[in-house]
Amino acid sequence: MSAAFMNTPSTAPAAPLHQPSPGLWMLAWRRLKHDKVGMVSLAVVIIFLLMMVGSYTGLIAKNWSKEAGVSYANPSFMAGAENLEAVRTKADPNAIKIEPVDLSDIDPLAPRYKEWAERTAKIKTTETPRAETLPFGGDKWGRDVLQKAIKGAETSIFVGLFAALFAVFIGTTLGAISGYMGGKIGDLLEWFYNVFTSIPYILLILAFAAVFASSPQLAAYKGVPMVVAILAFTGWTGIYRLIRSEYIKHASREYVKAAQAIGASNSRRMFVHILPNVSHVCLVQLSQHVVQFIKAEVILSYLGLGVPVDSVSWGTMLAEAQSELVIGKWWQLAAAGISMAILVTAFSMLTDSLRDALDPKIK
Looking at residues 13 to 72 of the shown chain, list those that interact with another protein (rule: CB under 8 A): 14-15, 17-24, 27, 31, 34
Q: How far is CA 165 from CA 58, 229, 258, 293, 346, in A?
A: 24, 11, 32, 11, 19
Tell me the backbone φ, ψ of residue 12, rounded to 5 degrees: -80, 140
CB closer to another protein out of 224 and 256: 256
Which span sits near another protein by CB under 8 A: 84-92, 116-124, 126-134, 338-346? Answer: 338-346
Query: At closest approach, how far in Å is the CB of 223 from another protein?
Result: 17
Which span sits near another protein by CB under 8 A: 123-131, 137-145, 220-228, 344-352? Answer: 344-352
Which span sits near another protein by CB under 8 A: 42-50, 72-80, 161-169, 261-269? Answer: 261-269
Rounded-to-integer distance, Cα 339 and Cα 326, Å: 21
CB closer to another protein out of 76 and 223: 223
Residue choice 227, 321, 354, 358 for contact with another protein (CB under 8 A): 321
Rounded-to-integer distance, Cα 281 and Cα 33, Å: 19
Exposed, middle or buried: residue 7 (CB in 10 Å: 0-12, 13-18, 19+)? exposed
Q: Is 248 near another protein (CB under 8 A)?
A: no
Query: At closest approach, how far in Å is the CB of 305 from another protein?
Result: 7
Residue choice 214, 220, 267, 361 for contact with another protein (CB under 8 A): 214
Considering only residues 275 through 314, tell me which ones interact with another protein, judged by CB under 8 A: 276-277, 291, 295, 298-299, 302-305, 314
Biggest CA–CA distance in the chain, Å, is 85
Listed in sequence order, the residues at least 6 apart from 24 whose beta carbon sits closer than 8 Å to its beta carbon are: 363
Residue choice 216, 220, 267, 361 for contact with another protein (CB under 8 A): 216
Residue choice 143, 148, 151, 273 for contact with another protein (CB under 8 A): 273
Residue choice 93, 129, 263, 361 for contact with another protein (CB under 8 A): 263
Query: At closest approach, how far in Å is the CB of 94 from another protein?
Result: 29
Exposed, middle or buried: residue 158 (CB in 10 Å: 0-12, 13-18, 19+)? buried
Residue choice 59, 211, 271, 310 for contact with another protein (CB under 8 A): 211
Which span sits near another protein by CB under 8 A: 65-73, 83-91, 138-146, 271-279? Answer: 271-279
- Among 170, 183, 116, 164, residue whose Cα is nearest residue 143: 116
Query: At closest approach, how far in Å is the CB of 235 from another protein?
Result: 15
Question: Which residues are registered as beta bridge partners of 75?
Answer: 134
Quote the DSSP letter at residue 86.
Answer: H
Rounded-to-integer distance, Cα 173 and Cα 175, Å: 5
Q: How many residues bind another protein (CB under 8 A)?
A: 94
Considering only residues 74 through 133, tell me which ones interact with another protein, judged by CB under 8 A: 105-106, 108
Rounded-to-integer distance, Cα 308 and Cα 215, Å: 16
Please say whether the beta carbons of 294 and 146 come within 8 A: no
Considering only residues 149 through 208, tell me which ones interact with another protein, judged by CB under 8 A: 191-192, 194-204, 206-208
Please say whether the beta carbons of 141 and 135 come within 8 A: no
Query: At closest approach, how far in Å is the CB of 311 from another protein?
Result: 18
CB closer to another protein out of 68 and 204: 204
Q: How far is CA 126 from CA 66, 68, 309, 349, in A?
A: 9, 10, 21, 44
Query: At closest approach, how far in Å is the CB of 265 from another protein?
Result: 8
64 conformational bin, left if phi > 0, alpha if psi -120 to 50, beta if neither: alpha
Residue choice 87, 99, 210, 271 for contact with another protein (CB under 8 A): 210
Please say whether the beta carbons of 66 and 148 come within 8 A: no
Query: At closest approach, how far in Å is the CB of 49 from another protein?
Result: 17
CB closer to another protein out of 89 and 332: 332
